[in-house]
Structure 1
Amino acid sequence: MTKRIIFIFAALCSLQARASVRPAQADTVRYTSFTDAAELLQPVQPTHLDGVILPMRGSGNWFVGIAGGSTAFLGTLLGCEDLFGRIETSYSLAVGKWFTPSVGARINYSGSRFKDARLSTQRYHYVHADLLWNVLGRGYARQEQVRWGLVPFAGIGLLHHATNGHNPFAVSYGVQGQYRISRRVSAVAELSGTTTFQDFDGYGRANRLGDHMLSLTAGFTFHIGKTGWKRAVDAAPYIRRSERLAEYVDFLSEENRRYAGRHDCDRRTLAELKKILEIEGLLDAYGHILQEDGEVGKDYPVNNYSGLNSLRARLKNRQWDGTSPLDTTEVRPGGGSVSVRVEAGSANSRYGCNARRDSLTADSVAFRPAGGECIGAPVYFFFSLNTARLTDPSQLVNLDELVRVATKYGLTVKVTGAADSATGTVGINDALSVSRADYIASELNKRGLPSDRITKTGEGGISDYVPTEANRHSKVELFFDKLEKTEIHP
């Protein structure tokens, strides 16, 4: 009893000690998951930096302006007329450029007539350069086109009095309002002033500012060259995308190295298994199981030139009368013999000898009749995708031999075109198979085979062979021109 108590107590202590042990992390390796690899390859939608505009090159954002309105001259000696009595018509021409959406410059010419202190009409001309500042220009940083513009300006120039010849220095200033009608045309209205020396009109003190011109004009501005502004694209999303792609490339490189090592190990294992099967004499029976991936599926047709060679050898003996050493004489009961001739396409054809007795015919794959009439193995000509152009022009050398054999032995030729059903529609594949058959038939005809000895047909789209490229072909088969009837000699 004491031993049982001690045993139970020890078991309980061991269970408590095991429960109090904290579980340890078995694997500390971290794997990066790239389940969103397709998302990494999607194009990034560009985003723009807020308030950042790219500078325009010298050929962009030029403008030409034309305007007309009225001008009132206010001299130091004002005279007896009020402001409205001094108004005269005026016009202006301007050429300028916007360097940024907010800053620009122009050269402006204005002129016409004005009334001096004596209220006599005089002529003037004014050329000045102005610095423009569009207070609404920052709106271009958030949208492609801004309709409205408010442009204060200031500049300097020369004012010319056409009567007394004075050319004093002048200061111009004002404000211009703009409304963009279209991408190339804007409507403008401008309120401007000009200040010069008092003796401009011939009355007042020299070298002291005091004569003024006040102008109100309206017109149009025409934008030439490239217009608009490019907003700066935020590069941060592209940088993050590049970093993630670099990580993904490293991940794929590591996977490729791992799979390459596994493939090398598998390849060595297969080589050892083949050696074992060869030693045991089982390689022929089970070797196909150990074929590498590159060798699987190669069941598409190939040109069998040995079939043509066998065909030529047999056609040389087509007049054989049945008395060969292979014994084609059939002995009948009661004595006597019968020499049998059968049709040329049958299994017991005299061209191929008696299939039951002729071991050469029985063993020859090249001359085994197909469908009762075809002679030897068909010859295939392969074409490029969606064309009637051969994948390799050197295939045409087979046509010379085919024409020579068919002409020498009076054979007919059947040309069957085909297309790959995995690509193209039914209508396209039907037309393509016919055109491929026509191409081979025309090449045979060029080499001297009459058209009445050629039969053409199109199979359309097929999927008979692997890989799919093998379905893009034209098949050439040889046939005897006509069947000979059976003759029985008693």
Structure 2
Amino acid sequence: MKKLMFALAIASISSATFAQQSNKSQNAIVSESVDVMEVPVDKYKVETNRFFDNWFFSVGGGAQVLFGDQSDLGKFGKRIAPALNVSIGKWFTPGLGLRLQYSGLQSKSFSSEPSAYSKPHMLSEGYYQDKFNYMNLHGDILFNISNMLAGYNPDRIYDAVPFVGFGFAHSYDKPHLNSLAFNFGLINTFHVADAWDLNLELYGMGAENKFDGKTLNKGLDVMLGASVGVTYKFPQRGFKPAPDVDAMMALTASQMDAINAALAQQIEQNRQLKAQLANTPNEVVTEQVTVNQLTPVPQSVFFQIGSATLPQNSTVNLQQIANLVKDNPGIKLKVTGYADSDTGSASWNKQLSEDRANTVANELVKLGVNKSNMIISGMGGVNTLTPPAFNRRVIIEAQ
């Protein structure tokens, strides 16, 4: 996971106590600290996939067997025919994709009487052999159940990809029959390189009864087969995992707790020092105490893609901000919303950024901050941070 420097508290604490007594001085300083943390990601969510990302091209070859009218008259081995498939497609998410496939090549069967695709001479066994060339053009929906169930992992070696689709089958031999077809199967994908996959595809096609040139029986003509092939994945390939906004807000809360603990410790040190000076007799004491001096450090609230709904756990940090503002009435807050320019139109992002800023401002009002002490604005879509999810935020600054 990428690392990011978080400045997650609205106030850094700089507190000093100076006492002069008989040319003696004492000083207490608490310095600010900022932690470097790993950004948590959600393995079930990814960044927006652009149109030209994650396209692929596949080719494979194998064997197939027709289960149609009277196909069982001959031996199974003599019904095995060569198969070919060529595909182009795109993954829209790690779990969902579409492809267009050209498949088929040859079909073999048998008939008790001459059919449209029978050879002219009867075999010695007393039946005719059928053979014809065909193609099946179909569109399929791909489901990567490995990514759906276990989350996106670009380093996974094997993925199971079931598919279903529809198309039509066309015979290249007379009488050139066309049949509607239903397609289904399982692609076993083995990732051998960043751009290349090795595939074992198990597939089936259910076509209209006329597909094999005979309509002696009711029901579909079914083609079952297997092929081995390769897939090339065009650049840009792969997905960027989306940051886990809820987990990020939880990290923010833990850092805010540390800041508050440091503040309480400094106040106690100042109290003890003040008590020591008050108990010193017959001395002129000049004391200067500064507690809870605020330095504006931005705080971010991150949002899910396309959403202006306040994330879970964000109110924990907003409550801390509200408390500090109530303790320091002179502070004004600048609340600025943003969207990521990689997603949506400029007008949509402008409105979304304003909605996010107003959402945070309204929550601060609920927590006791006067809205007149806030400057609220939306800056539209930006691309200042990477990954783009970090641009879907509201920044709160003390003025």
**TM-score, structure 2 as length reference:** 0.49
Higher-Rg member (1/2): 1
Q: Which has the higher contact order (CA 8 A, sep 6+)?
A: 2
Structure number having the greater helix percentage: 1
**TM-score, structure 1 as length reference:** 0.41
